[in-house]
Structure 1
Amino acid sequence: MQSSLGARLLQIIPTMLLVSVIVFALQHLLPGDPAVMLAGDSAGDPHVVAQIRDQLLLNRPIGDQYLHWLVGVLHGNLGYSWELSAPVTTLLLQKLPVTLQLSAMAFVIALATGIPLGVISAVKKGTPLDWLATSVGLFGLSVPSFWLGIVLILLVSVDLGWLPPSGYVPLSQDPLQSLRTTIMPAFVLGNAVAAIIMRHTRSAMLAALHQDYVRTARAKGLSERVVVWRHALRNALIPVVTLAGLQLGTLLSGAVLTEQVFDIPGVGKLVVDAVFNRDYPVIQGVVLVTGLLYVLINLITDILYAVINPKLRGG
C-alpha cells in the first residue's frame, strides 16, 4: 500500500508539469492582445503598448515566458495579476475558500441524495419508488444548471423571499447567513452530480444484490435492512467512490457557471473575468491549482478503495 501511494505521489510531478505546459500554450491562442487591453485609452499609442509588452515580457518567445513563470511557481510565486494589480496567490487565498465551501456543500447534497435514492431504486426495482427515483435522476441530468438557478431565484428568492437571490457571506463572519447564501447555489451545483451518483449506485446495487454473499446473509436470517445497508451497499460503493472522486473534481470546475448566476465571488468568477481581460497570470494560477486539487482528489479516492475493500490493501 505504501509503495503504491509513493508511486502515485511521484506521478503528480509529470502530470502537473504537463498541465502547466498545456494551459500556458493554449491561453496564448486566445484572440486579442493583452497589452492593447491594458493600455485602455492609450491603446492607439504604439509606444505605450510596446512599453507594456516589455514590462509583461510579452515580447519574448513563448518558451522563455513559460520558463520564467515556471521558475516563479517553483519558488511559490504564481505571478501578478495584470488587471487587478495583486499577487495571484493572494487572490486565490481569498477566492478558493468560497469555491471549496460551495463545492463541499454541493458534494454533500449529491451524496446524501444520490446514494439513498440509488439504493431504494435498486431494492424496490419495478415499483413506483423505483420509477420516482429514476425520474428524479433523469431530471437532474436533463435540466441545465443555469436555468435551474434562475428558476430557483425567481421562485425561492423573489416570490417566496426565503433565501437571498445572490451574494456571499463568509462562514467565519456569520455561519447561518453564509449557509443561507450558499445553500441554493450548492443545490444547483450538486443536482446533476446527485443524478449521476444515483444511477451508478442503482446499477452497482442491482449487481451486488444478486451475489452469493447476499444470498448467504439472507439464508443466515439477517434482516433485509442489514443485508442491504451493511453487506450489499459496502461492496456496491467501490465503483461509486471512483465516480464520486471524479465528480468532486468536476464540481470545482463546474462552479464557474453557478458562481456567475448567483454572483458568488469564488474562483470560477475570478477566472471568467480573467479570460475576458486576458489576465494570463490569473488563468495560469487558477488552472494549475485546480489541476493539483483534482489530482489530489483522485489520490484520496484510491486510498479510500483500501478503506472500503480490505482485499485492495495489499496492492
Structure 2
Amino acid sequence: MLDFLLKRLAVTLPTLLFVSMLIFGLQQLLPGDPAKILAGEEQDPNVIAHLHAKLHLDEPLPVRYAYWVGGVLRGDLGESVRNQQPVGELVLQKLPVTLELAALAMLIALVIGIPAGIVSAFARGTVWDTLANGFALWGISTPNFWLGILMILLFSVQLGWLPASGYVSPFEDLRANLAAMIMPAFVLGNAIAAVLMRHTRSAMLQVLATDYVRTARAKGLRERVVVLKHALRNALTPVITLGALELGTLLSGAVLTEQVFTIPGFGKLIVDAVFNRDYAVVQGVVLVTASAYIALNLLADLAYMAANPRLRH
C-alpha cells in the first residue's frame, strides 16, 4: 500500500502544477481590466498605473504566474483587491462553514441513500423497490433552490420551527447552528442520496447474482450476514467513487443553496469575487477546491483497499 501511495503522490504533484497553470491562465481570459474597475468612476491614470504595478498587471503572463506560484508555495494566496484582506484569511473564514455544510449533507445522503439502495436491491420487484426508486427519481429531478424555498415556506414561515436564513457558529450556539444548517444540509443531501441510492442498488444487484454470494447462502449463513458483510462490502467501490466526487462538489460551494439560505460559504465568496473581478480570491478559492478534489480522490483509492482487500494486490 505504501508503494501505491507514493506512486499516487508522484502523480498528484504534476497534476496540481497543471491545475495551477490552468486556473491562472483561464483567469486572464476574463474581460475587463481589474485596475480600472478598482480605480472607480474617476479612472485616475495615476491610480490605474499604481494598481498595475501593485498587482503586476504590467508584467508578462509567465512572470505574473511565477509571482503567484511563488506566493502559493510560501502559503500566500495573495490579497483581495476589494477589501485589502489576505485571501488565505478569507478562505479560513469561509472553509469551516462549507465543511460543516458538506459534512452534514453527506451524512444525510449516506444515511438515506445507501440503506435505500440495499433495500431496493434485496427486495427487487416489491413495493419497497418501487418506493425507493420513486424517492430516487424525486430527489434527482427536484431543483435544490426550489426545494429550499418550499422548506423555508413550510418550516420557517408556516410552522416557525427553523430560521429561514443566516448562520451561527457552532462555537457560539450549537443548537442555533444546527437549526440554521439542517434545511440547507437536507436540500443538498437529498439530491446526493438519490444518486447514491441508484448506484448502490445497481452495484448490489450485480454482486447478489455472483457465485460467492450463492455459495455463502448455500453454507447456511444468515441473509443479513450475506447482504451486509459479503455483498455490500464488494459493492461499495462505485459508491465510494461517487461519494468522493459529490463531497468534492459540496466543498467547492453549493452556490444556489448558499444564496437561498444566506450561508456565508465558498459559494457566496467565489460569486462575489467573480462579480468584483477580484482575481486573487477567485484563483485562491479554485486552487483550494481543486486540491480538495485531488485529495478526496486519493482518499477514495485508499478506501477501495480498505473495503475490498483483493485490491491491495
TM range (shorter): over 0.9
The aligned residue for residue 217 of structure 1 is 216
The aligned residue for residue 75 of structure 1 is 74
The aligned residue for residue 93 of structure 1 is 92
Identity, in percent, stands at: 60
- CA offsets per residue over residues 125-172 of structure 1, 9 Å max, x none? 111111111011111111111111112111211111111111111122
Alignment map for 1:1-315 (pairs within 5 Å): 1-43=1-43, 45-314=44-313
State the one-letter code of the partner of 2:18: L
State the one-letter code of the partner of 2:11: Q
Give TM-score, length-normalised by structure 2: 0.97
Q: Distance in 2 between matches of 1:84 and 1:198?
A: 44
How many positions carry a matched residue from both structures?
313
Structure 2 segments unaligned to the other structure (5+ residues):
none
Q: Distance in 2 between matches of 1:8 and 1:223?
A: 39
CA contact (8 A) 2:241 2:300 kept: yes
Q: Distance in 1 between matches of 2:21 and 2:256?
A: 25
SS in 1 for 2:202: helix
CA contact (8 A) 2:8 2:298 kept: yes
- CA offsets per residue over residues 66-88 of structure 1, 9 Å max, x none? 11111111111110010121001
Tell me whether 32-41 or 277-286 shows the greater mean CA deviation.
32-41
Any runs of at least 4 consecutive aligned residues in structure 1 with deviations exceeding 6 A, and if so which?
Answer: none
1:40 offset after TM fit, Å?
Answer: 1.7
Q: Distance in 2 between matches of 1:47 and 1:296?
A: 44
CA contact (8 A) 1:197 1:240 kept: yes
SS in 2 for 1:78: coil
CA contact (8 A) 1:189 1:254 kept: no
Q: Distance in 2 between matches of 1:39 and 1:152?
A: 43
CA contact (8 A) 1:35 1:53 kept: yes
Give TM-score, length-normalised by structure 1: 0.96
SS in 2 for 1:40: coil
Tell me whether 118-127 or 48-57 shows the greater mean CA deviation.
48-57
Q: Distance in 1 between matches of 2:190 and 2:49?
A: 48
Q: Distance in 1 between matches of 2:261 and 2:67?
A: 37
CA contact (8 A) 1:157 1:165 kept: yes
